[in-house]
């Protein structure tokens, strides 16, 4: 038997294979309405509301670096990324189970700070940390959070359901997380250089980070858009499809299109790129638009609504209408600010953990 490196099939290829192996187990759960393939699994428990469940891993050296990530922020982010997946179902978060594997180098005080960050986020979102597990780790710090949420059945929103003519909408701004990460990675390189040379840490470098705080905040402390879910509820809006932007706009609109069997036309000029990300991109001689399209980790909501809801959506200043859903044959297209059309299906893909 020959062994295939995971990088050969990529993260999505791996998910496809393990989903196929797990598929027979689905018949054990008649209450399950959605299994693998959406932001959360969805199931009935007999009560009036539907339950949703999701889980997310944060791994040191893959998702975060302890040199540039305060523990309080890391705790808060580990809750927020799960709340974001619950919001993507148009649901409200209720309970979290938290498991951590801790290496020897991490002292009690740091673990306490991590949990303080989680509890701070939990109280902001109105959810309970109801259990978990702890272990030692022979390598890096690993945090796994599982979250349960609920929604009324008529409010449940899946990735499938977008219809030609629907408006494509996104909350907040994009590109900020990647911009913040770029600044932090540059900072980290400086810190390591100073450590190598046995130089004392130069506080002026940290002070210079002031001008980037907005973008760094987007990376270290993303906010799940529970406020948007409440805006939908208060205004009787049920999107036709929704996903949270974790891998980048291109990849995530791609998920909606594939699951809904539709195409989409996005207008570059309408994509809400964080202004600070544009100035950071200029400094790095990179392109903020490509950070928005394929950078990921912005944790905004991407959703579609019937075009009749234009006025209701436009009334919310924090939501941008960036395009429309088209017939499937039209594919996934972007019109740039000069009116040229670019095929997004073969341009920049989203973040994949297994391909370099
Ligand atoms: Mg998601």
pLDDT score, position 208: 66
The total number of structural domains in the chain stands at 3
Query: Does 335 lie in the same domain as 249?
Result: yes
Give the domain CATH number at 269.
Answer: 3.90.650.10
Taking the centre of ligand 1 as the mean of its atom positions, its distance from the CA of residue 300, in whole angstroms, is: 10
Query: Does 237 lie in the same domain as 206?
Result: no
- The boundaries of the domain holding residue 260 are 167-178+217-346
Taking the centre of ligand 1 as the mean of its atom positions, its distance from the CA of residue 31, in whole angstroms, is: 22
pLDDT at 194 over 90: no
pLDDT score, position 354: 56
pLDDT score, position 161: 97
pLDDT at 255 over 70: yes
Q: Of 88-97, 191-200, 256-265, 336-345, give the lowest mean pLDDT range.
A: 191-200
Taking the centre of ligand 1 as the mean of its atom positions, its distance from the CA of residue 39, in whole angstroms, is: 4
The pTM score is 0.93
pLDDT score, position 352: 53
Taking the centre of ligand 1 as the mean of its atom positions, its distance from the CA of residue 299, in whole angstroms, is: 8
Taking the centre of ligand 1 as the mean of its atom positions, its distance from the CA of residue 159, in whole angstroms, is: 10
Query: Does 311 lie in the same domain as 172?
Result: yes
Query: Does 330 lie in the same domain as 233?
Result: yes
pLDDT in tens, 298-327: 999 999 999 999 999 999 999 999 999 999
pLDDT at 328 over 90: yes
Residue 282 lies in a domain: yes
Query: Does 172 lie in the same domain as 84?
Result: no
Instruction: Give the dihedral of Cα atoms 331, 337, 340, 346; nearest 10 deg.
Output: -40
Query: Does 203 lie in the same domain as 326?
Result: no
Contact 90, 150 (CB under 8 A): no
Query: Does 324 lie in the same domain as 203?
Result: no
Residue 295 lies in a domain: yes
Neighbours of 11 (CB within 10 A): 16
Q: What is the mean pLDDT of residues 27-34?
A: 90
Taking the centre of ligand 1 as the mean of its atom positions, its distance from the CA of residue 356, in whole angstroms, is: 21
Query: Does 187 lie in the same domain as 174?
Result: no
More confident residue, 109 or 202: 109
pLDDT score, position 216: 93
Those residues whose beta carbon sits under 5 angstroms from the ion ligand 1 are 39, 85, 244, 246
| 142-175 burial code (b ≥16 CB/10 A, e <16) | bbbbbbbbbbeeebbbbbbbbeeebbbbbbbbbb
Residue 27 lies in a domain: no
pLDDT score, position 197: 83
pLDDT in tens, 2-26: 899 999 999 889 999 999 999 999 8
Residue 93 lies in a domain: yes
Query: Does 147 lie in the same domain as 38?
Result: yes
Q: Of 25-34, 190-199, 256-265, give the lowest mean pLDDT range.
A: 190-199
Give the domain CATH number at 53.
Answer: 3.30.1330.10
Q: What is the mean pLDDT of residues 154-176?
A: 97
Taking the centre of ligand 1 as the mean of its atom positions, its distance from the CA of residue 337, in whole angstroms, is: 29
Taking the centre of ligand 1 as the mean of its atom positions, its distance from the CA of residue 201, in whole angstroms, is: 38
**And the tokens for 57?**
């891993």
Q: Where are the alpha helices (DSSP H) in 52-175?
A: 71-87, 108-125
pLDDT score, position 12: 84
pLDDT at 172 over 70: yes
189, containing H or E segment: helix 176-196
Taking the centre of ligand 1 as the mean of its atom positions, its distance from the CA of residue 43, in whole angstroms, is: 17
Closest of 231, 188, 179 to residue 206, by C-alpha: 188
Query: Does 191 lie in the same domain as 171?
Result: no
More confident residue, 2 or 258: 258
pLDDT score, position 206: 59
pLDDT at 353 over 60: no
Contact 79, 146 (CB under 8 A): no
Residue 198 lies in a domain: yes
pLDDT score, position 2: 85
Query: Does 299 lie in the same domain as 171?
Result: yes
pLDDT score, position 47: 86
DSSP label at residue 247: S
pLDDT score, position 167: 98
Taking the centre of ligand 1 as the mean of its atom positions, its distance from the CA of residue 217, in whole angstroms, is: 20
Residue 355 lies in a domain: no
Work out the pLDDT band at 210, boundaries 50, 70, 90: confident
**What is the average pLDDT score of the chain?**
92
Query: Does 222 lie in the same domain as 110?
Result: no
Residue 23 lies in a domain: no
- Give percent of the chain with pLDDT exceeding 70: 94
């Amino acid at each position: 038997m020959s062994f295939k490196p995971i990088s050969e099939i990529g993260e999505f290829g791996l998910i496809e294979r393990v989903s196929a192996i797990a598929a027979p187990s689905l018949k054990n759960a008649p209450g399950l309405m959605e299994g693998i393939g959406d932001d959360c699994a969805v199931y009935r428990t007999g009560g009036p509301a539907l339950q949703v469940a999701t889980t997310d891993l944060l791994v040191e050296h893959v998702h975060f670096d302890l040199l540039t990530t305060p523990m309080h922020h890391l705790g808060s982010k580990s809750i927020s990324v799960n709340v974001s997946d619950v919001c993507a179902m148009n649901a409200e978060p209720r309970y979290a189970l938290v498991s951590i594997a801790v290496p020897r180098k991490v002292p009690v005080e740091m673990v306490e700070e991590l949990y303080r960050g989680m509890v701070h986020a939990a109280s902001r979102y109105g959810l309970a940390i109801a259990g978990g597990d702890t272990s030692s780790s022979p390598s890096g710090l690993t945090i796994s959070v599982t979250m349960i949420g609920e929604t009324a059945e008529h409010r449940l929103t899946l990735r499938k359901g977008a219809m030609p003519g629907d408006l494509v909408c996104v909350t907040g701004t994009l590109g900020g997380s990647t911009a913040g990460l770029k600044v932090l990675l540059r900072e980290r390189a400086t810190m390591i250089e100073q450590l190598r040379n046995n130089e004392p840490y130069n506080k002026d470098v940290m002070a210079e980070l002031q001008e980037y705080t907005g973008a760094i905040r987007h990376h270290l402390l993303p906010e799940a858009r529970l406020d948007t879910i409440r805006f939908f509820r208060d205004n009787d809006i049920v999107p036709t499809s929704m996903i949270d932007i974790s891998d980048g706009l291109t990849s995530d609109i791609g998920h909606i299109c594939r699951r809904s069997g539709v195409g989409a036309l996005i207008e570059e000029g309408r994509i809400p790129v964080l202004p600070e990300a544009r100035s950071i991109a200029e400094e790095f001689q990179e392109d903020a638009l490509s950070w928005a399209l394929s950078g990921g980790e912005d944790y905004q909501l991407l959703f579609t609504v019937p075009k009749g809801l234009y006025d209701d959506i436009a009334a919310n200043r924090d939501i941008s209408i960036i395009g429309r859903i088209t017939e499937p044959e039209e594919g996934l297209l972007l019109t740039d600010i000069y009116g040229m059309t670019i095929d997004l299906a073969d341009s920049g893909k989203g973040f994949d953990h297994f391909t370099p």
